[in-house]
């Protein structure tokens, strides 16, 4: 055995100690176990998506003529096809929800503040890419809503001033939904965005490692209690447990609420109700309230503000002399988000 480990260490000159030091992130007691998992949850779900996504890609055909039929084939004929498709669909929902919850946790604990502004930007980028994955994924099914949702998205892109038309043409591979649109969405969904996500995650985690996790001081905490605990194996086991809980949850959801198949996309018939996926309900409602140009511009502004929040927060706390100003704004924003989402979900048109 020792000859084998010699063989190995000659060729891979990294010792176990070095690795352990590299990865053993001390986890502060506050971020006790379960709250801290809000970061790992979307990462784990992303892995689930990669695995189930690859499996779906084995049977999916990204051509407008056969896409729908291939999804039907997976759902109705392939052994366990309905199950893996259901996992993929539910993991998408849960992943987006987990990302949003994680962001809220980061926001409300002020973890974006100096010197972690750049990581906040990476995190915002992760959010954008995740939403992009959610959108492109649904458009691949080539149901009615897939087609018309993509068309609507193209039209919205068009209203962006100056670059709108150009962006729309790049997105749809033409002026309207055509034969090249679906393959383009497919490559975005299956290659470009996942790779971007992986790279961003690596940077995101690297940042966390080098900065470390802020240890919040809470008054009632006894002084002599250890301030942190080891990532390996303590937190790792927690994450493993959570991973299993997520798998059980996903399995249950995929079984009880399986992924269905709506009517096939028909370019000649616009359905009565066009709605995006739930995670776009808020912006869809915003769009319907304010008309395309204003809505697009205002949403662009909001996104920009979100990206720049660390600096805005700094300015605001200085101006208002209140450390909690961001918290109050955050509460309002969350209510707005939930309100718009629920409103859109309740309304038919």
Partner 1 sequence: MSLKVKQILIGFLGLVFLASLIFVQGMEVARKREESGLVAHHVSIPATSAKCVECHNNLSPGIIDHWEGSTHALKGIGCVECHKANAKDADAFHHYGHTIATIVTPLDCSRCHPKEFDEFTHSHHAKAGNILASLDNFLAETVEGSRTPFNPHSPTPGMEVDMVNGMASLNSGCKQCHGSEVALTAKDGGLVTVKDLQPDEKGLPTNLEAVARIARNEESQPLMDASTWPNTGIGRINLDGSRGSCSACHSRHDFSPRRARQPENCGKCHLGPDHPQKEIYEESKHGVAYRDLKEHMNLDSEKWVLGEDYTQAPTCATCHMSAHSKGQAVTHDPGTRISWTNRPPVSMKMDTDVNHAVIKETDPAKRQSLIDSDGDSWQNKRDRMRQVCLHCHTNNYVSAFYKQYDDFVVNFNEKFAKPGKKIMAALRDNKLISKTPFDEEIEWTWFYLWHHEGRRARHGASMMAPDYAHWHGMYEVAERFYIEMIPQAREIVEHAEKAGRAGAADAVTEVIEAILERPEHKWFEEVKKAKDLEQATRAEPAEQEEKVDEAAEAEDAKEEAVEATGS
Partner 2 sequence: MSDESSQTSGHTPPALNSHSTDTELGRRSFLSNSATVIMAGGLAGGYGTFFAMAGRYLYPSTQNKVWIFVSDAASIAPGESLPFQSPGGVAVTITRRAEKPADEVASGEPLAVDRFLALSSVCPHLGCRVHWESNNNRFFCPCHNGVFNANGIATAGPPAAEGQKLPHYTLQIVDGALYIEMPTSSIGRKA
Q: Which residues bind partner 1 (CB under 8 A)?
A: 33, 69, 76, 79-80, 82-83, 233-234, 237-238, 240-241, 244-245, 247-248, 251-252, 254-255
Q: Which of 36, 44, 60, 83 binds partner 2 (CB under 8 A)?
A: 83
Q: Mind giving me the DSSP string for 186-232? A: HHIIIIIHHHHHHHHHHHHHHHHHHH-------TTS-TTS-SEE-II
Least Å distance between CB 254 and partner 2?
A: 12
Q: Which is nearer to partner 1, 2 or 79 (CB)?
A: 79
Single out the residue of 144, 89, 18 nearest to residue 256, CA to CA.
Answer: 89
Shortest gap between Cβ of 166 and partner 2 (angstroms)?
32
Decide if residue 153 touches partner 2 (CB under 8 A). no
Does the footprint of partner 2 cover residue 81 (CB under 8 A)? Answer: yes
Q: Which does 180 bind (CB under 5 to 8 A by kind): partner 2, partner 1, none?
A: none
Q: Which one, 80 or 108, has the nearer CB to partner 1?
A: 80
- Please select the residue that binds partner 2; options are 192, 201, 247, 306, rule is CB under 8 A: 247
Q: How far is the CB of 59 from partner 2 (least distance, A)?
A: 9
**Residues in contact with partner 2, total (CB under 8 A)?**
17
CB nearer to partner 2: give 81 or 194.
Answer: 81
Return all residues near 169 (Cβ < 8 A) that are at least 6 apart: 175
Task: Find out whether 152 and 219 touch, Cβ atoms under 8 Å.
Answer: no
- Which string of DSSP letters, residue by residue, matches 9-50? HHHS---HHHHHHHH-PPEESSS-TTTTHHHHHHHHHHHHHH
| Closest to partner 1 by CB, 240 or 305 | 240
* 55 interface partner picked from partner 1, partner 2, none, CB below 5 to 8 A per type: partner 2
Task: Please answer whether residues 25 and 113 qualify as being in contact, where contact means their C-beta atoms are separated by less than 8 angstroms.
Answer: no
Shortest reach from residue 250's CB to partner 1, in Å: 9
> Which stretches of the chain are DSSP H helices?
2-11, 16-23, 37-57, 67-76, 81-108, 117-139, 144-158, 164-172, 181-187, 193-211, 236-256, 281-290, 292-307, 309-320, 325-346
* 69 part of the interface to partner 2, by CB under 8 A: yes
Minimum distance, C-beta of residue 72 to partner 1, in the bound complex (Å): 8
Query: At a CB cut-off of 8 Å and minimum separation 6, what does 343 contact?
Result: 281, 285
**CB of residue 39 to partner 2, shortest distance in Å:** 22
Any idea of the CA torsion for 265, 269, 270, 273, to the nearest 10 degrees?
A: -80
Q: Which of residues 42-61 bind partner 2 (CB under 8 A)?
A: 51, 55, 58
For residue 111, the minimal CB distance to partner 1 (Å) is: 25
Question: From the centroid of its chain, how far is CA 205?
Answer: 16
Question: Distance (Å, rounded) from C-alpha 60 to C-alpha 55?
Answer: 9
Minimum gap (Å) between residue 247 Cβ and partner 2: 7
Residue 43, binding choice from partner 1, partner 2, none, Cβ under 5 to 8 Å by partner class = none
User: Which of 110/243 has CB closer to partner 2?
Assistant: 243
Q: Which residues contact 50 (CB under 8 A, 6 or more apart)?
A: 194
Report if residue 176 touches partner 2, rule: CB under 8 A. Answer: no
Measured between its terminal Cα atoms, the distance across the chain in Å is 69
Question: Which residue, 109 or 251, has its beta carbon nearer to partner 1?
Answer: 251
- Residue 33 binding: pick among partner 2, partner 1, none (C-beta 5-8 Å cut-off by kind): partner 1
């Amino acid at each position: 055995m020792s000859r084998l480990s010699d063989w190995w260490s000659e060729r891979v000159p990294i010792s176990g100690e070095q690795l352990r030091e590299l990865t053993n992130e001390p986890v502060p007691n506050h971020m006790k176990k379960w709250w801290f998992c809000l970061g790992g949850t979307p990462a784990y779900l992303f892995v689930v998506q990669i695995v189930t996504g690859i499996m779906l890609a084995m049977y999916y055909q990204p051509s407008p003529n056969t896409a729908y039929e291939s999804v039907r084939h997976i759902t109705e004929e392939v052994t366990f096809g309905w199950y893996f498709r259901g996992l993929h669909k539910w993991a998408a929902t849960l992943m987006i929800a987990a990302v949003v919850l994680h962001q809220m946790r980061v926001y409300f604990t002020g973890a974006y503040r100096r010197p972690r502004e750049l990581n906040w930007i990476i995190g915002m980028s992760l959010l954008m890419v995740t939403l992009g994955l959610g959108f492109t994924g649904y458009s691949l099914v080539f149901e009615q809503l897939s087609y018309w949702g993509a068309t609507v998205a193209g039209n919205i892109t068009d209203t962006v001033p100056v670059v709108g038309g150009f962006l729309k043409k790049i997105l749809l591979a033409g002026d309207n939904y055509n034969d090249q649109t679906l393959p383009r969405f497919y490559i975005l969904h299956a290659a470009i965005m996942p790779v971007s996500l992986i790279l961003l995650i690596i940077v995101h985690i690297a940042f966390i490692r080098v900065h470390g996790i802020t240890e919040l001081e809470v008054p009632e905490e006894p002084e002599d209690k250890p301030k942190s605990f080891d990532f390996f194996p303590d937190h790792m086991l927690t994450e493993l447990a959570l991973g299993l809980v997520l798998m059980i949850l996903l399995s249950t959801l995929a079984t009880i609420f399986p992924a269905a198949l709506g009517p096939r996309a028909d370019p000649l018939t616009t359905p009565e109700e066009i709605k995006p996926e739930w995670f776009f309900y808020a912006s869809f409602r915003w769009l319907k309230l304010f008309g395309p140009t204003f809505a697009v511009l205002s949403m662009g502004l909001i996104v920009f503000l979100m990206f720049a929040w660390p600096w805005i927060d700094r300015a605001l706390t200085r101006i208002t002399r209140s450390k909690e100003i961001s918290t109050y704004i955050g509460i309002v924003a969350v209510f707005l988000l939930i309100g718009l989402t629920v409103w859109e979900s309740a309304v038919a048109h």
